[in-house]
A = this chain, B = another copy of it.
Amino acid sequence: MDTLFQSYPVGLKDVELKEGFWEEYGRLVREVVIPYQWEALNDRIPEAEKSYAIHNFKVAAGVAEGEFNGLVFQDSDLAKWLEAVGYSLSCNPDPQLEEWADEVIEYIEKAQQKDGYLNTFFTLKRPEEKWSNLLECHELYCAGHMMEAAVAYYNATGKRKLLDVMCRFADCIDEVFGEEEGKLHGYDGHEEIELALVKLYKATGEERYLNLSRYFIDERGKEPSFFIEEWEKRGKTAFWNPSDHNKPDTSYNQAHIPVREQTEAIGHAVRAVYLYSGMADIAALKKDEGLKKACKALWNNIVTRQMYITGGIGSTHIGEAFTFDYDLPNDTVYQETCASIGLFFFAHRMLLMEAEGSYGDVMERALYNSIISGMGFDGKSFFYVNPMEVWPEASEKNPDRKHVMPVRQKWYGCACCPPNLARLLLSLRQYIYTCSGNTLYTHLYIPSKAEVAVGENKITLEQNTGYPWDGGIRIKLGLEKEMKHTLSFRIPGWCRSFSLLVNGEALSCEGRTEKGFVSVSRLWKDEDEIVIQMDMPVEIIQSHPEVRANAGKVAITRGPLVYCLEEEDNGTNLSALSINTDTDFQVTAEASLMKGAVSLTGKGFRTKETGWENSLYQPYRKEEEETEIKAIPYFLWGNRKKGEMLVWMNHK
């Protein structure tokens, strides 16, 4: 079925990460995050809020006493953990971990109802209310995450138990929902099942699952509104606040108009990009040009109007949502880690439809900035919100900013981001390469070894790079026999000049660069070596003038990394600092921050605080002194003492 794609990814089993930046994150996830989350899911971390996720399944399975606890979507926490476990086991066998997973899969199987239904909240707490509040209660969302887990676990271990459970549940859902009379003409308030059903289809070949996903996508936003009718049916009450009788705003759930007519990213950001990912899947698999067009419009809206420089999305914490074009406030920002991950998923699916380097650019931008900023080096502390500036006192004392945490938090009661990070970081290797016809594309630069089937032959690619700290990439080929093939490498949008060598011989890039890729077509031989050397100067970046929050400000970048200032290096009140737009920055190794890391130092200016004697406003006078400004990679912020942080700084 992969031929329906214009291209397909080189999969998890075919790529192995090698020592380097991302393998260290992978190790952290395997060795710390997954075991820590296992403890958390089992409510064994004294200082954290209890999860109850496994407890609920045990009770529903009849193997423990008690009642349901936690949030309505608590099941999904276990699902995300299981999915991460699947990715982990697919490259790093671990009998203990597999035993834990098998144990909870037992509970899950036993918790499943006869008709295939599976959801501990409704089974234990509100059995009569199943499927009565799709808008708010996440039944299909939880189902989707468990489907993703089932596919990952099956692919890794070959064990079918969870996959079978989830096929039965998918069958049950297919019985309940659909356009036929007597079925519910609905869809979930939190999109996720759409993309999950596509994965289930790919794992099983069952076309009904693909069609059900398409049904959910096409039904969404039709008139009369399913969500409004459902809300009227249940007496116009809200699950989260029974005394709230306001009519639901369905744009929060991207259900205000049919998805094919949507051109602006709107509503809850995670839900939006999960939906768009599912839409892109269906567009590709069903060769649906109309849906592809909607995907492109939404994509363009996000990346040219509503995306932070760090690749994050979500301009407001109220509804964790998109707002509107060019509204990218730095202080009240939401930019949830999960939303960046969702944008990464969406980008990857767009890439499968269209070999266009800018999709990989956004994957890279999100990955190296707003995604990994979400996790501390201890693997036990996380940011949900990734702010563009932090003033710790404001987080504490201005309620408009209380969602902006100045230090990473422990596992949360609503724990979406940590397991989402875990599953992405452990499956990152599947996002490096894609194949399309006679071309092998390289999208991410990560030390790794891949084995790619090309017709009846195989190519192995051994990729070495110091990315993101330097822009040199060396790829060594392994071939059983000579082969004519095209190798295309993404040249990131940030890269203004690069050189390309094959077996030590420089090739002209003239005529080889198209849509963000440089390509070499030739008869490749075993041990051929390609070297790409990208210049990685420090750049001073400005925003589109319509981004009011960044008027008069610039950010510092180097390669894929956005940099930021921290109080630790620059003293308090970072807003008093400014730089010239032609400042030369010095690149300095900062091994204490992270192996390979570099900081940037340059000349700047600081407004003096003298002469203010208890006044708040005075006629302007230039009172500043030269100072050294030091910037560190954004994703590394918040790993030292609590203090201020700033991405966009004033320029002269």
Give residues in A with beta carbon < 8 Å to B. 241-243, 300, 303-305, 307, 309, 315-319, 321, 323-324, 327, 329, 331-332, 391, 393-394, 397-400, 539-548, 551-555, 573, 575-576, 578, 581, 607-609, 612, 614-622, 650-652
The CA of A332 and the CA of B404, in the complex, are separated in Å by 15
Q: Is the CB of A541 within 8 A of B619?
A: yes
Q: Is the CB of B576 within 8 A of A551?
A: yes
A-B contact pairs, 21 of them (CB 8 A): A305-B616, A309-B617, A316-B398, A316-B399, A323-B394, A323-B397, A323-B399, A327-B393, A327-B394, A327-B398, A541-B617, A542-B620, A543-B616, A544-B616, A544-B618, A545-B608, A548-B573, A548-B575, A552-B578, A620-B651, A652-B652
The CA of A545 and the CA of B539, in the complex, are separated in Å by 27
Say whether, besides A329-B400, A540-B620, A575-B551, A546 and B609 are in contact (CB < 8 Å).
yes
The CA of A581 and the CA of B398, in the complex, are separated in Å by 31
In addition to A547-B616, A552-B553, 10 A-B residue pairs with Cβ atoms within 8 Å of each other are: A303-B616, A304-B614, A317-B400, A323-B399, A332-B332, A542-B617, A544-B616, A545-B576, A545-B607, A552-B578
Q: Which 4 A-B pairs have the closest CB atoms?
A: A551-B575, A552-B650, A318-B399, A548-B575
A629 to chain B, nearest CB (A): 14
Chain B residues, CB < 8 A from A393: 324, 327
Q: Is the CB of A573 within 8 A of B544?
A: no
The CA of A545 and the CA of B605, in the complex, are separated in Å by 13
A610 to chain B, nearest CB (A): 10
The CA of A242 and the CA of B618, in the complex, are separated in Å by 48
The listed residue (B400, B540, B608) touching A316 by CB distance below 8 A is B400
Q: Is the CB of B397 within 8 A of A616?
A: no
A394 to chain B, nearest CB (A): 6
The CA of A111 and the CA of B304, in the complex, are separated in Å by 63
**Least CB separation from A613: chain B residue:** B304
**Least CB separation from A624: chain B residue:** B545
Q: Is the CB of B332 within 8 A of A617?
A: no
The CA of A548 and the CA of B307, in the complex, are separated in Å by 24
Number of copies: 2
Chain B residues, CB < 8 A from A307: 616
Chain B residues, CB < 8 A from A553: 552
Chain B residues, CB < 8 A from A652: 652
Q: Is the CB of B552 within 8 A of A400?
A: no
Q: Is the CB of B327 within 8 A of A329?
A: no
Chain B residues, CB < 8 A from A324: 393-394, 397-398
Say whether, besides A393-B324, A578-B552, A618 and B542 are in contact (CB < 8 Å).
yes
The CA of A241 and the CA of B244, in the complex, are separated in Å by 10
The CA of A327 and the CA of B576, in the complex, are separated in Å by 14
The listed residue (B303, B548, B617) touching A543 by CB distance below 8 A is B617
The CA of A624 and the CA of B206, in the complex, are separated in Å by 59
Q: Is the CB of A620 within 8 A of B554?
A: yes
Chain B residues, CB < 8 A from A578: 552
Chain B residues, CB < 8 A from A552: 552-553, 575, 578, 650
Chain B residues, CB < 8 A from A622: 581
**Least CB separation from A582: chain B residue:** B620
A241 to chain B, nearest CB (A): 8
A336 to chain B, nearest CB (A): 15
The CA of A398 and the CA of B241, in the complex, are separated in Å by 22
The CA of A256 and the CA of B620, in the complex, are separated in Å by 38
**Least CB separation from A242: chain B residue:** B243
The listed residue (B332, B544, B547) touching A400 by CB distance below 8 A is B332
